[in-house]
Structure 1
Amino acid sequence: MELQTSKVRMLLDAEQKPPFLQGLLLSAQHVFAMFGATILVPLILGMPVSVALFASGIGTLIYMVSTQFKVPVYLGSSFAFIQAMAFANSQMNGDVSAAQTGVVLVGLVYVGMALLIRAIGTAWIDRLLPPIVIGPMIMVIGLGLANSAVKNAGFVEGGDIKHILVALVTFLITAFINTKAKGFLKIIPFLFGIIGGYLLAVILGLVDFMPVLQAAWFEVPHLYLPFETGGFFRRYHLYFGAETWAILPVAVV
């Protein structure tokens, strides 16, 4: 039996800088890809979206500098914190002190783990979490999100046909570009899907432009600190009750 091998041509090398227009399109696609998930977490938790965007941007810059720009990763909001932080906020009657303190503690655990890994290396992590373990974990996470995708698309009892239509058109455009397009266009299917779905949503009257027109052009994020500073910084009190410690196990996720 003759084996057939397909040759895949690499459009951009890992360290190759794309032309300006291609870089602009790739950047726009990355912004759209990260934006929904990054703002969804604070919306679910009732926290300021501006803070999530500000913190994720600062965190990404620190990460990029630390890795010498060798790993093109955007650090967005983590869905692992949603349940624990929502529980803490509900138990504290809307007070964010427990949630904020818990997040700070998790951050300290991450810093400690990073220093430990730097001191003793990563060999033990490779033995503890080999690819045969990591692969199925990622698959399970993706399959678990499939249910949310179906519900968000409107495929539920009483769902709006307009929402379903936009979801289907967006998916079909993305799938078509990903499978049929050639060259550079093949690596920006998500951008085409977003643009096509958005234009259809505008045509169907699903887009309200008034909140955009009424929003401020510039706004300082509502930042919280555990001490009084005055100005635009808000204060939260350090709290070490059970609600706080319930967030700490998220550090191992």
Structure 2
Amino acid sequence: MSGSFGITHSEERKAARQDLERLKKEHNFLEPDRGDLDDPNIKWRFSKPDYTQANLEYMKGKTKNHPAGSLELVVENLVKRWEMEASHFQDLDQWTTINKEKYRAQANGGQVFSAEETWKVGNYNWLMAGCKKELYDAEKEDFESSHRHFRGAFTKGFPWEVLEVFSGPPTVAFSWRHWAHFTGQYMGSQGAGELIELYGFGVVELDEYTKITALNIYYKPDEFVEALKGDISPDKLSKGKALVGPGCPYVQSINSHSNGV
């Protein structure tokens, strides 16, 4: 879950900002809250990110418009702040979104990563640790190479949105959508602007200070890479209910309780 792809030219950035402000005014959209990026105490891994283009793509492509103060927007912004910190903070101690000592991250019930491990390998590699190695070998990639692959594929950003929240703190269960137009290159595969959409489910455990202690993500990484490689058509990717229905144990649990079982 990463979406921080800045644009480099001032004129492009200015045009993107104008479009973004127009959408905010016309549709009452809210920009994602990723924290205070102007804090002079932040030590950036590379340089301070610019989210103008990413926020514009998010507004142009999102399917939900969660109102201010809603649980859905709170969860969405928490995840976006976490992604920003994981992708851009130089030091793990700077992260404000996690309980460093307790934090654990896991994708699809696979390998469990500690805070130190996720900081070292990067979000893409722990999220894709269970992917078939012939498609993506996370053990052979590092933080820099993984970001290079996917930023190179999605040149205008890789937006993410919360679709629905099923339970509130301290255990927050939610469905999500991740999308982008494949306008760049992925490991030699050239995109033609195809829309790539990922759907999944997430469960976040929070402590008493609303810091993340555990993050569990469910989705289908193999299909995602196959679409980027051109092995399957993007329209064959699993969609919404088909993915987060009976396959996810948290949805099963929620459905069981709602049905009185």
What is the TM-score when the length of structure 1 is the normalising length?
A: 0.30
Q: Which has the higher contact order (CA 8 A, sep 6+)?
A: 1
* Structure 1 or 2: more strand by fraction: 2
TM-score (norm 2): 0.29
